[in-house]
Structure 1
Amino acid sequence: MTQINAHISSRPVAAAGGGRSRRRLWRAAGLLAVVLAAAQLQGCFVLGLGAVGTTAYVASDRRTAGSILEDNTIGLKADNRISSALGPDCNVRAVSYNQQVLLVGQVPNEADKQKAEEIVKGVPNVKAVLNEIDIGPVADLNRSATDTLITTKVRAGLIDAHDIFGNAFKVTTSNSVVYLMGIVTQREADRAVQIARDTSGVSKVVTMFNIITEQQLREMQNPQKENAPPSQPHGNEP
């Protein structure tokens, strides 16, 4: 089992600025997120991802198509197994990225927390597990809605930034703690942490990044150039 080197940042945060039109846009998006969060049932549950926009998401994701499929499979298996084993007094979510799994949510005791981790370690192809489950009562709908709104605002900040590619990051929020995952360079990682810190409502930032070099990033962005056959002695070069 691979060990995750998670980085935690707890510096004071401040509200991020922005144009009036952008604030209106993301206020509407945040309201939608709150409404969706309020529709969730309490207790252990399995979260499904809609198929809308899947093609565009895969095209912009730095994982391979096989890795994305594997992560979806791991998440579903982990959620189902945890729900069956721990029962209705828990609320645990497994988030898999590049076969590294983040566990967030609430359970009533330490034994259940450790049991959830062992369950996930038993799911095929899981490389590592970061157990961030809180011990305590299941979060109410207000808490869940607030976390969903924070996630929406952090994603908005990442996408709005012009010096990084926002869709390279996976954002999860639990109890106002933001977790960032992704295959990114150190420059991108540092910038994303800064954006998350500066988002209102965030109490702490935890990262689970797979760090690559700038050269590796260029190769990922231009695979056709790296894998192209030798050029012919005639004709125009692209």
Structure 2
Amino acid sequence: MTETGRARRIRHTLALLALPLLLAGTSLLGGCAPVVFGGAAAGGVAVAQERTVGDAFDDTRIKLELNGKLLESPREGVFSGVEIEVVEGRVLLAGSVPLPEDRIEVARMAWTTPGVKNVINEIQVGDSSGIVDFAKDAWITAQLRTKLLFDENVRSINYTVETVNGTVYLIGISRSPEEEARVTGHASRIAGVQKVVSYVVPVDDPSRQPQPVARPQG
């Protein structure tokens, strides 16, 4: 892994390690305390996620474990361009790797991580991006996050954004079709965006409901 790639993944891991402390702090304030993440915390904005605190803990654990697998892999250098997002056990893989078998290997690592319910593999094969393209993608992501944060009709904390070579990937939970349409609309109108791919699920989607536990007969 390049020094830049290693540093970025270590920063992600440290941020994830800090998240349980943040969640624990909010739980001490009472069951109705809002959970604050990322840019929302920096901006002094407190909003509640649709996913539960327990789900947020599980998602953090999954991301930590998968990040650890990539760091410890004998071929760690090829995974420096991989980005991971997790929402309610759904793992979105984005970024790029040199070879098709590398793409398959990252997906295998994700599927073998306990708690993973689904893997969305959007990893591109062959890194055609450079420093300039990376900067453009980061700018697009920042622009979209800002637009969502200041849109009163969007609960921005329910959405996670990744941008790779001008393609914006969305994963999260929408409160209504209209809200999701606003999010995708914001993304599509940002200069430099080539395509918007949404893996957002509605808040009442059956896949989000707890599955009944089978009880032993007799």
State the distance in 2 between where 1:77 and 1:150 align. 28
Offset, 1:143: 2.5
State the distance in 2 between where 1:176 and 1:82 align. 24
State the distance in 2 between where 1:45 and 1:165 align. 27
CA shift digits 1:59-99 (9 cap, x unpaired): 52221111111111111111221233332133212211111
Letter of the 1:68 partner, please give it. Answer: A
- SS of corresponding position for 1:161: coil
Determine the structure 1 residue equivalent to 2:51: 63
Question: How many residues align structurally?
Answer: 174
Instruction: From 73, 80, 100, give the equivalent of 2:68.
Output: 80
- SS of corresponding position for 1:62: coil
Q: Please state if 1:158 is matched with 2:169.
A: no
CA shift digits 1:95-150 (9 cap, x unpaired): 11111001112111101101110110000000000111111137433332222211
Alignment of 1:75-114 (within 5 A): 75-85=63-73, 86-90=75-79, 91-114=81-104
Shift >6 Å, 4+ stretches? none
Letter of the 2:146 partner, please give it. Answer: A
**After the TM superposition, which of the residue ranges 80-89 and 62-71 deviates more from structure 2?**
80-89
State the distance in 1 between where 2:160 and 2:36 align. 11
State the distance in 2 between where 1:182 and 1:107 align. 24
Instruction: From 112, 125, 139, give the equivalent of 1:122.
Output: 112
State the distance in 2 between where 1:41 and 1:156 align. 25
TM-score if structure 1 supplies the norm length? 0.66
- SS of corresponding position for 1:183: strand
Contact 1:74–1:126 (CA under 8 A) maintained in structure 2: yes
Instruction: From 3, 9, 19, give the equivalent of 1:45.
Output: 9
Offset, 1:192: 0.8
Please list every run of 5 or more consecutive structure 1 residues that lacks an aligned counterpart in the other structure.
1-39, 214-238
Please list every run of 5 or more consecutive structure 2 residues that lacks an aligned counterpart in the other structure.
27-34, 38-46, 205-218
Q: Tell me which of the two structures has the higher relative contact order, counting C-alpha pairs closer than 8 angstroms and 6 or more residues apart.
A: 1
Contact 1:107–1:138 (CA under 8 A) maintained in structure 2: no
Letter of the 2:67 partner, please give it. Answer: D
State the distance in 2 between where 1:202 and 1:171 align. 13
Determine the structure 2 residue equivalent to 1:231: none
Determine the structure 2 residue equivalent to 1:201: 192
Structure number with bigger Rg: 1
- Aligned identity (percent) is 26
